Structure formats: structure tokens, C-alpha cells
Amino acid sequence: MGDGHGKSAAALGMAMREAAMGGRVVVIQFLKASNLIESSFMEKLEPEIKFFRFERSDDDYLERSRHEQEEDAVNMRNGLGFARKVLSTGMCDLLVLDEILEVINKGIVSIGELREAVRDRGETDIIITGCDMDMGICDFADDITQIRPMNR
């Protein structure tokens, strides 16, 4: 969490390290433009790192029409449901839920829904990213890292 840049990059770095050690990695991106996930570089990382994105629009969520927001909110909730399935089947050793904290902050899913989704994770490590974290996350997070810019 934090208002600095680099949270997703740090999470992807940890994902690459896990994959390099032979681990299976799944990254589910929320509130991200599709050009990142569809880039030829990301395709080179598969099948060791599998990327998923459930939104249809590349526009900023708050700038979309109410109808588009509702459609993408359903898609993002489906993304969290997919995360639950990934965890219950043991599909990966590391799951990255990129920008899920922002999905919670926008009221699309609740902390309770996230807690329920990650509850039966077994041995799978989970990284969640986003700017602002509700302190309710502390109830079930193993570690919390804050990334913030430093003024010179």
C-alpha cells in the first residue's frame, strides 16, 4: 500500500522471483489498462506467470458511465471469485491481487468478501496491492509493506 509508485512493480518482481524458483504464479489485475496485460513482454512470462484481467473498459473507473461501472463491478467481483477458485484448487504458489485495495475503496467488494476469498488459501502466498488500506486488512494479513515517495 502507499501513495508512491512501484507497488505493482514490486509485486510483479516478487512474482518473477517466485516463478524463477519454480513456483506457479497467478496475477489478477483490477483497475488496470489492458495494454499492460496484453503486452508481448507479459506473454513471454507465461506459462510460469499467468495474468488475468476481468474488466472490459480501459477508461478510469470513475469516468465511466454508471452502466459501465456496474458491468465492470460485476466483472471485478467475478475476478475475486476466480481468485477464490485459484486458491481452493491450489493452482498456484503465489497469487497477486493487483489493486484489490482500490476495488475495496470504491465499494465494489468488501473487506469481508476479500477475507472470505483468501481464508482457505492453504500454503499459497498472497500479495495485495493498492493505495489506501482499510485497517480491517490487518486482521488477516501476514505482512504489510508500505511504499511511499521520499522528498529530497
Whether residue 69 lies inside any domain: the answer is: yes
Whether residue 152 lies inside any domain: the answer is: no
Kindly report, residue by residue over 41-80, the tens digit of the pLDDT. 777 788 889 999 887 777 777 788 888 889 888 999 999 9
- Domain of 30: which CATH number? 3.40.50.300
| pTM for the whole structure | 0.87
d(CA 108, CA 38): 24
C-alpha cell at 44: 513471454
Total number of domains in the chain: 1
With a cut of 70, say whether residue 129 has pLDDT above it. Answer: yes
Whether residue 151 lies inside any domain: the answer is: no
d(CA 101, CA 130): 5
Whether residue 134 lies inside any domain: the answer is: yes
Range of the domain at 119: 7-139
DSSP string, the chain: --SSS-HHHHHHHHHHHHHHTT--EEEEE-S--HHHHTSHHHHHHTTTEEEEE-----S-GGGS-HHHHHHHHHHHHHHHHHHHHHHHHT--SEEEEETHHHHHHTTSS-HHHHHHHHTT-TT-EEEE--S---GGGGGT-S----------
Whether residue 148 lies inside any domain: the answer is: no
pLDDT for the residue numbered 141: 75
Whether residue 26 lies inside any domain: the answer is: yes
Whether residue 49 lies inside any domain: the answer is: yes
Whether residue 65 lies inside any domain: the answer is: yes
How much is the average pLDDT of 8-33?
90
Kindly report, residue by residue over 87-128, the tens digit of the pLDDT. 999 999 999 999 899 999 989 999 999 999 998 888 999 998
- Which residues, other chains included, contact 102 with Cβ-Cβ below 8 Å and sequence gap of 6+? 30, 31, 130, 131, 132
